[in-house]
Structure 1
Amino acid sequence: MDMRELPERMRRWSLAGQMLALQIVVVGITAAGGTALAALQAGDLLTDEAAGRAEAVAVSVADSPSVLAALGDSATLQPYAERVRRETGVDFITIMSTGGLRYTHPNPAQIGRRFLGNTGPALRGRTFTETYTGTLGSSVRAVAPVRDAGGGVRALVSAGITVEKISVRLRGQVAGAVFIGLLGLSAGGAGAYLVGSRLRRQTHGMGPAELSRMYEYHDAILHAVREGLLLVDGAGRLTLCNDGARELLGLPGDADGRHVGELGLPASLAGLLASGESRSDEIHLTGERTLVVNVAVVRSGNRSLGTVVTLRDHTELQALTGQLDAERGFADSLRAAAHESANRLHTVITLVELGRTEQAVAFATAELRAAQQLTDRVMGAVREPVLAALLLGKSAEAAERGVELAISPDTGLDDIGLDGRDLVTILGNLIDNAVEAAVSGVPPARVDVRLLADETTFLISVADSGPGLDAVTAREAFRRGWTTKGDGRGLGLAMVGQAVRRLGGAIDVGGGPGAVFTVRLPLRAEGLS
């Protein structure tokens, strides 16, 4: 194989394969370097140890009184030197004259011959060590002076250990170091294989280029989609969110890694995100938005990895739906009024046919007067066209259900410059809930509406003759899902609360004997006409 092809082939390996190869190379280089360093250190240590031992033996023999007494007598010194040599483990002990003539030697044939090596420092009274090649080969030796009582140098003692003996010991220690290095290499290779296997499972066998490309695609998708996307782990911590989710939920910049309960989300939404349960198309309200939330649990085998949450903004759709409901209510009211007018017209025609013209005129005039009075009352008090139309429609709806919708005598309202959709949401839902409560109360069923505006505040008050709300229920009434029907689908009052907060107002719930909802919305002076 052409060695130039190797880097290209390695680039095509998976990330786990590249990491395994890299780890094996690193471990191999580390083991080889450690073994070489250990061998060098062992050689230096053995040489130093040999020199120290030779010096200690040479000084000990030189300081022996029996050596000074027997100088020149090889027959006495040779057995002594050999006994000491065997006991200390050195390879030779040579006792010599100051001129270098040997009195002792491991090879008796060398006795009387001249010592091979340096003796100058010892003749000057200093013990020294050196590596020198003599009759026994290269050796690490020490030379020490033998002094008389007056301090004069009378003879010399040399003790040494051959380099071959040191090399034998060194080869044993190097073999041990190599064995330990191989064990380390094997353990490192096994560990690298296990790490590589785990990495291969986690990366699904993909290479760095594939992982980088996948990251770029996923990052581009996350930033491109308008819908909100969240990843929440099994402990309820936010692990990922895209730009859409940050905008829809108003998340802080450091949201990643924090528990969803610490992100300032509404309690119901935070509870859903931390529950680890799958949900489909749930409606949740934030401070200014209506969101459709879907939660899907992500599993690996039987283990839950967390949840994927998608968010869709239905604020505009919900507002349009509210307007559509209002328009539908107006249409129903018109149909009911048309049906009632047809009945009255038939009555008038029948009276005319019977020749009772005066009764027909009186009946028609009375009905016309009642209808016109209601219209004049509403249009005269409320000059905000959207609210006036809403009140007329709700009056007809309430009448169909047997509820009297009364406009407070002190109601007076011009164009206040607030968003008509929010006003329809607030007033329409309050009247709908009041009618429902009045129907379930003690007859006669009645709903009183009061609208007032001054230079700073717009006041909406809706009271019903129903059973009323206790303090606990009043606090829960604006929670998503609350309803007197108990089906968990209530959304009207929750949207009222959201609209009031969006306009910067406040809402109070009182009793008297039914429920009284009072909304106060701030106005700018220039918003009044």
Structure 2
Amino acid sequence: MSRWSLARQFFLAQLVFIVVLSASLSVILYLDAARGVNDAAAERMVAVSTSIALEPAVLDAVRGPDPSASLQPYAVEVMDRLGVDFITIMATDRTRFTHRNPEEIGRPYIGSVAEALTGTTHSETYAGTLGPSIRAIVPVVDDTGTVQAMVASGITVDRAAIARNAQLPLVAVIALGALALGALASFLLSRRLRDATLGMGPAELSRTFVFYDSVLHSVREGLLLTDAAGRLVLYNDQAARLLGLDGSQEPVPASHLAVPPSLRELLSSGRRALDEVHVTESRVLVVNQEPAVPPTPPGRTAPAPGALGTVTTLRDHTEIEALTGQVETMRTLTDALRSQTHEHANRLHTIVSLVELGRDAEAVDFATRDLQQSQRLTDEVVQAVDEPFIAALLVGKAAQANERGIELTSDIAPDAQAGSLHPVDLVTVIGNLLDNAFDEAARSEEPRVRLTVRRAMDGDGAQVLEIVVEDSGNGLPDSEKARIFDFGYSTKPACEAEGGTPAGRGIGLALVRQAVRRFAGSIAVTDTDDGGARFTVRLPVAPVAGRVGA
């Protein structure tokens, strides 16, 4: 029995309970019917005895010289007419005047007479000459209230049992009806329980719960269960940390979560998701989601019901994306250095060609002007920026812009120092903004990009490092300004991949936003006067005590 399913054990237990209940109900109904029959018989005998005792002829007869002569025929007639087993009219000393068996006339009455002698009606079940009987004894009194005789009438218990047994079919119908309805209800409940427990037994359910609970709280990924109404009904500690929940395990509507709208929509919709990337205020989450569809219970061929909700896993890729950002930063620096190397190689080839042509003076003049221009750009950047990573980035980007035919102008204020800001994150912000601006400006007739870095004051009077990158591209519609920083979203038409997202695109600006958020800064996109796009980044910095690297 221990291997039986919980539903089967429940059904058998309920069936035993219903059988016991039906048997108990039958006994109670039978005893109640018997009591009712006995009470009704006693009341009937009281009525019969009272009617005879109130008859004036009975009082006259008991006062006469031979009471039995007139009372016996009268009693027999009443017994036959009313179906009473005996009617005994007796003297106060118990001497019978009448009896069903004439031979008992003159003999003493067997039964209780004390109550009748005091003028009180009394009923009882007593074993007399005819066997156990239900009887009533009523006094016969004269006008002064004196007891002159007594009347006892009764029916045997066997005859009362006939009336009682007549109630047995009704008792049986009620008991069988209760048994049938109880068994049917137990069967339906057991089927519902079997569907709910998937046909598993108590041991299997207990083991499954223990294992699932252990898995839920031991996995490092966030795991949460959402019901059909879009409420989070169960989640582990990692999911609570990633979604900012308090861990109370109270059902929480997905629409109330403090997460980006795209993630709220995914959790509320219940749709399937495979490795979708969603960026929160401080994290990059990879989300997988599947509907929770219960399997068909054993022995059932009907299709399983619809989805009960969804199972969602959350993987924290924040550290991986941070590494990706560093790789992107190194790639930006590499591209900048490659462009600078390519540009210097072209200039060196020009100088060598002039020397080979015997135009030494022109070669010296070209080399001198190139050296002065490169040194001037380097001096301007180095004097304005005290961080070698950023200085190298800007020098390389200037070469990259020149290689692509883009006019890059820089306006870096002398006090625009990084301060407490991490240089790698600044390279991520400036490098990706410039890359995005180069791509947009390259599609315009007069490609221009302007970089401005300066100190400013925010609305609270605190100092911020303001980085502004403007391009001469076609700008951004308002509908795209809200999505331009989403991970994987891009407006570039080249290299379209499956799903309409450009392959390898949609990463740079998402990394910029992540870096800005780490600094507790802000980023905004507006339009320039000539129709291009302007990206403005404000990063909180400590006040500068003195200019560094001047």
TM-score by length of structure 1 reads 0.88
1:145 aligned counterpart, secondary structure:
strand
- 1:417 matched to 2:420: yes
Q: Write out per-residue CA displacement over residues 280-328 of structure 1, whole angstroms, 9 at most, x where no aligned residue.
A: 2211111111111122234454733433222211111112112212212
Distance 2:231 2:469 in 1: 43
2:120 matched residue in structure 1: 126
Segments of 4+ moved more than 6 angstroms: 526-529
Output the CA distance in 1 between the equivalents of 2:46 and 2:390: 115
Q: Which residue of 2 aligns with 1:153?
A: 147
Match of 1:283 among 277, 286, 289: 277
Q: Percent identity?
A: 47
Deviation, 1:502, is 3.5
Structure 1, 184-193 or 322-331: larger mean CA deviation: 184-193
Which stretch of the first structure deviates more once superposed, 329-338 or 402-411?
402-411
2:526 corresponds to which of 495, 502, 510? 510
Match of 1:461 in 2: 468
Contact 1:326–1:390 (8 Å) recurs in 2: no
1:523 corresponds to which letter in structure 2? V
Please list, as runs of the form range in 1=range in 2, the aligned pairs for 1:436-455 lying within 5 A after superposition: 436-452=439-455
After superposition, the Cα gap between the structure-2 partners of 1:79 and 1:412, relative to the gap in structure 1 and judged at 3 Å, is farther
Cα distance in 2, alignment partners of residues 480 and 76 from structure 1: 120
What pairs with 1:61-460 in structure 2 (closer than 5 Å)? 61-71=52-62, 73-85=67-79, 88-174=82-168, 176-254=170-248, 256-299=250-293, 300=295, 301=303, 303-410=306-413, 412-452=415-455, 456-460=463-467
Following the alignment from structure 2 to structure 1, what is the Cα–Cα distance between the partners of residues 260 and 392? Answer: 34
Change (3 A) 1:526 1:105: farther
Query: In terms of mean alpha carbon deviation, does 492-501 or 313-322 score higher?
Result: 492-501
Stretch deviating more after TM superposition (414-423 or 127-136): 414-423
Contact 2:86 2:99 in 1 (8 A): yes
Which of 497, 502, 527 is residue 513 of structure 2 equivalent to? 497
Structure 2 Cα separation of the partners of residues 107 and 344 of structure 1: 152
Give the Å deviation of 1:423: 3.2
| Contact preservation (8 Å) 1:408, 1:449 | yes
| Separation (CA, whole Å) in 1 of partners of 2:41 and 2:384 | 118
1:4 corresponds to which residue?
Answer: none
Offset at residue 364 of structure 1 (A): 0.9
User: Which moved further from structure 2: 70-79 or 123-132?
Assistant: 70-79
Alpha-carbon distance in structure 2 between the residues aligned to 1:479 and 1:204:
42
1:57 and 1:385, CA in 2 relative to 1: closer, same or farther beyond 3 A?
Answer: farther
Paired residue for 1:19?
Answer: 10
SS at match of 1:408: strand
Task: Report what 2:48 is aligned to.
Answer: 57
Deviates more, 1:202-211 or 1:158-167: 202-211
Q: 1:332 to 1:428 in 2, by over 3 A?
A: closer
Q: What stretches of structure 1 of length at least 5 have no aligned partner? A: 1-9
Match of 1:46 in 2: 37
- Determine if contact 2:272/2:289 at 8 Å carries over to the other structure: yes
Q: Distance in 1 between matches of 2:445 and 2:55?
A: 130
The one-letter amino acid of 2:283's match is R
Stretch deviating more after TM superposition (491-500 or 213-222): 491-500
Q: How high is the TM-score relative to the length of structure 2?
A: 0.85
Question: Which stretch shifts more, 448-457 or 45-54?
Answer: 448-457
Q: Report what 1:475 is aligned to.
A: 482
Cα distance in structure 1, aligned partners of 2:133 and 2:544:
111
> Kindly tell me: are residues 67 and 378 of structure 1, through their superposed partners in 2, closer, same or farther at Cα, counting changes over 3 Å?
farther
Q: Structure 1 residues 54 and 184, CA, compared in 2 at 3 Å: closer, same or farther? A: same
Distance 1:502 1:29, change over 3 A: farther
Q: What is the CA distance between 1:156 and its match in structure 2?
A: 0.8
- Pick closer, same or farther for the CA change 1:524–1:99 going to 2, 3 Å: farther
For 1:312 and 1:21, the matched residues in 2 are separated by 46
> Aligned pair in 2 of structure 1 residues 386, 160: CA closer, same or farther (>3 Å)?
farther
Choose which of 512, 521, 525 in structure 1 pairs with 2:539. Answer: 521
Q: Is the 8 A contact 1:234 1:306 kept in 2?
A: yes
Moved more, 478-487 or 431-440: 478-487
User: Cα gap change, 1:393/1:242 in structure 2, threshold over 3 Å: closer, same or farther?
Assistant: farther
